Amino acid sequence: MRLAVIGAGAVGRSVVELAGEYGHEVVAVADSSSAVVADGGGTASTGVDPDAVVARKAERGIVGDDDPDDALAADYDVLVEATPTTLDDAEPGFSHVTRALERDRHAVLANKGPVAERFGDLRAAVADSDGEIRFEATVGGAIPAVSTVEDIEPGHVTAVRGVLNGTANFILTRMAAEGLDYDHVLAEAQDLGVAEADPSFDVDGTDAALKCVILANVLSFGAADDPADAREFTLADADVEGIRDVPGSALRLAAEDGRTVRLIGEATGDTVRVAPRLVPENGTLAVSGTQNIVQIETSHAGRLNISGRGAGGPETASAVLGDVGRLE
Amino acid sequence: MRLAVIGAGAVGRSVVELAGEYGHEVVAVADSSSAVVADGGGTASTGVDPDAVVARKAERGIVGDDDPDDALAADYDVLVEATPTTLDDAEPGFSHVTRALERDRHAVLANKGPVAERFGDLRAAVADSDGEIRFEATVGGAIPAVSTVEDIEPGHVTAVRGVLNGTANFILTRMAAEGLDYDHVLAEAQDLGVAEADPSFDVDGTDAALKCVILANVLSFGAADDPADAREFTLADADVEGIRDVPGSALRLAAEDGRTVRLIGEATGDTVRVAPRLVPENGTLAVSGTQNIVQIETSHAGRLNISGRGAGGPETASAVLGDVGRLE
């Protein structure tokens, strides 16, 4: 498949670098101010040069001399939406996707915004298009959460819960392991690049909540006999509490009882909740460091647990490219 | 889809009972000596009556008054092969599958025999047919092992390992928990119905080995540029050691070092091994009781762990019906 990669952050760059290994070629790349579009022209290899694009971005801060709109207008099969997550109207990501669908192309999202905040609008755009959307990369990085729920069939899934944010999990793991307070461990996480300079998206639970909202939409619309009746979720529907107020003493107290604290998100077809919770210290949900885990409760097959790397350029890119493969 | 279910043991009966919930209808069921075939006839509901079939099997030991061959000859979309696993020529299961493919129908297997022992012959039969085969239910029960490897793409999977036999795992878990010897715990497992009267298939590692052989075939053929060059695995290629010789003392010694013993199977594109191994007692591979875990090592996304119920009628049936859904 020919890919137009919109967004040249860690995920976008990894998709550009790995696409060839999955048998796909990148025909266009855009960041917020520039683009590079391969000119085709009948040669065997019509894609962009991945290494050159990534190097140019590193050295000059741009991907090419074209305009971002040239990438959106290019001749591609699948648009990869990897621009930063935005809330509410989820722009510009939402319009990147609808433009692809209006051209009867497919879109694969790593950007959570459109899927969490405008799921109904996306479905409407897909209904009017020959193209499809997929969004495995929006939940759980390398963990195949969305496709596993789809295969079990949402009507047979009663709940999905888990540790869905590696930054918050790393902080809690370190607080427990070292007996340190939140502020101290946050500084360590920022030094390591595990937490951002402004960490609120992660530590306030917003990132985990968006992922749970996406899962709730998948369950809700997937289980509905008539999608017109399905409840649509947005971030506003989520009950969210982050980890800023978890004191070191809470973790010490928990440890005395063989427990620890993890930021757990849960989605059903009716509710979305994110909050710190006590879990058994050696139990399944107590994944360590930046690991994620998704726990799927099913009607006929008991509970499935899937753990792995929840974030990272190559990890998320592998989820994107897995989705492209499913579109073929 | 219309299903012909061949095999009326725990898995076959569960497929018959659950098919309706997944939107499919059962048009024929066969056991080793009998069959029931719905007569169609233009009515809206043309399937067999699932409850009646299951009750008849329980009361009279047969599923109907037809001949098993009538089920194989029926008008169905997907044949479900759920007869007992047999080795070497993998008959009669192998011929049930090839007959479906010769009629350009699909086959979904819960029976490991044909997939482990005659993978090359199956591929050849599929190549000559409009039908496809799927076999998620042959490895890890409810755990989506095969489909997850397929989605990541076998060329990007370097190894698959795990705890793949619930009977052996239950015995080792109880030996460690209670400090009891193998013979004592085996008797307990048999009383609970977790181990069979002849437990050798499970405790000698054969069952786990067959599952690893299947995974090795998936990796080997999936990664090959030319399937004609791919190495085909059978049970004879597996290096297998069971749990009969694990003494209680080994588990006690392991525990002093924070470890325990689990029967671990591992498949790569080149090797298949099953043996008892020391693992960290609170680590990912140390699943308890009859749980299974599949650990997938990937090229770009690190390690994925999937744990859940490895066996059982409804669990395995959900894997079968998930496969049917993927064929639509």
Residue boundaries of the structural domains of chain A: 2-141+316-326, 145-310
CB contact under 8 A, B322 and A141: no
**What is the average pLDDT score of chain B?**
94
Q: How far is CA B251 from CA A78, B170, B194, in A?
A: 53, 14, 21
| Catalytic entry in B211, B259, B262, B309 | B211
**Beta strand A272-280 pairing with B2-6:** unpaired
Q: Give the class (CATH, top level) of B2-141+316-326.
A: alpha beta
Which tokens belong to B312?
Answer: 């059982």
Nearest 5 degrees, angle CA B277-CA B280-CA B285? 70
**Residue A42 confidence (pLDDT):** 41
Rounded-to-10 torsion of CA A234, A237, A239, A245 = 50
- Residue B8 in marked binding region: yes
- Residue B127 scores a pLDDT above 60: yes
Can you tell me which residue has the tokens 């490897």? B149
Which residues are CB-contacts of A177 (< 8 A; sequence separation ≥ 6)?
none
Helical ranges in A87-199 per DSSP H = 93-102, 112-117, 119-127, 145-152, 166-178, 182-191
Which tokens belong to A49?
Answer: 């040069």
- Residue A13 scores a pLDDT above 70: yes
Pick from A144, A298, A314: CB nearest B300: A314
pLDDT tens digits for A112-153?
999 999 999 999 999 999 999 999 999 998 999 999 998 888
pTM to 2 decimals?
0.92
| Lowest pLDDT segment from A95-104, A135-144, B221-230 | B221-230
pLDDT tens digits for B136-155?
999 998 999 999 998 888 88
Asked if CATH classification 3.30.360.10 holds for the domain at A145-310, the reply, yes or no, is: yes
Whether B57 is catalytic: no
- B228 confidence band (pLDDT: 50, 70, 90): confident
Give how far B236 is from chain A: nearest CA, Å: 31
Which tokens belong to A229?
Answer: 């009746």
**Residue A3 confidence (pLDDT):** 98
**Chain B interface residues (partner A, CB cutoff 8 A):** 18, 21-22, 141-144, 147-148, 151-153, 156, 282, 284, 298-309, 314-315, 317-319, 322, 325-326
Q: What is the mean pLDDT of residues A53-68?
A: 94
Give how far A21 is from chain B: nearest CA, Å: 9
A2-141+316-326 and A145-310 in the same fold:
no
Nearest CA in chain A to B144: A148
**What is the average pLDDT score of chain A?**
94
